[in-house]
Amino acid sequence: MFMKSSILAGINCIKQCTILSKSALIHTSVILRKAEDRKEMLASLPAKDEGTAGEKSVDIDTLFNRRAKSFPDATTATKLFNGIPFNELPICNIRVSPNNTIISVTDYKGVPRLIRSCGIEGFKNTRKGTNIAAQATAVTIGAKAVELGWKTIRVKVRGLGPGRMSAIKGLQMGGLNIVSVTDNTPVSWNPPRPRKQRSL
């Protein structure tokens, strides 16, 4: 008796749901589709991204011929960027350490014009070493460089720390066009002797 009444209640509930779905256009999550609908749906999906689909085949020879202009050669120093020769572009020096990021903009002779650091920007203590602080500092100095009339610059990065890529991104957000990025991090070929192993 109980079993029969629960089955009848379930059937009544299904009937009410179908009546509601017809009147109020309520869609359930379980929808059975035909094979053609699935094909149409798959055809309408956007193409998979390279990162999710894996490597795509690329003709390397044509890629190198196209990219050959971006590699430096003997004529790079005199090549014009925005009407200015490469060797006369202003230089942005980014000094990155684990505790701070210092960004200075010099003219092509090396005379400093603008200097900002994360501490000057208002970040204190350990927050000076974050990538957010480096990006905020770079946006500020990029806007000031644009005010001076510099649009295209070269970038030299020195040191290791969390603000390396964030500072470059901040310069672009500040309105500067970056032509080249050079890594000037010093590498010691005979580093100091490591500490002796800790005894436990």
pLDDT score at 79: 86
Structure token pair of residue 153: 């610059």
Q: Is residue 164 part of a domain?
A: yes
Nearest of 96, 101, 91 to residue 121 by alpha carbon = 101
What phi and psi, each to the nearest 5 degrees, are found at residue 114?
Answer: -135, 135
Q: Is residue 45 part of a domain?
A: no
**Bridge partner residues of 59 (DSSP):** none
Q: Is residue 197 part of a domain?
A: no
pLDDT at 1 over 60: no
What phi and psi, each to the nearest 5 degrees, are found at residue 63?
Answer: -65, -45
pLDDT score at 29: 47
User: What's the pLDDT band for 21 if we cut at 50, 70, 90?
Assistant: very low
* Cβ(156)–Cβ(180) below 8 Å: no
Nearby residues of 26 by Cβ (< 8 Å), 6 or more positions away: 17, 20
Q: Is residue 119 part of a domain?
A: yes
pLDDT at 54 over 50: no
Q: Is residue 189 part of a domain?
A: no
* Cβ(87)–Cβ(78) below 8 Å: yes
Nearby residues of 142 by Cβ (< 8 Å), 6 or more positions away: 170, 171, 172, 173, 174, 175, 176
Q: What is the CATH number of the domain that holds 153?
A: 3.30.420.80
pLDDT score at 66: 61
Q: Is residue 150 part of a domain?
A: yes
Q: What is the dihedral of CA 111, 125, 170, 83, to 10 degrees?
A: 0
Domain that includes residue 119, residue range: 90-183
Total count of domains within the chain: 1
Q: Is residue 107 part of a domain?
A: yes
Provide the pairing of β-strand 84-85 with 80-81.
antiparallel
Q: Is residue 71 part of a domain?
A: no
User: What's the pLDDT band for 64 if we cut at 50, 70, 90?
Assistant: low
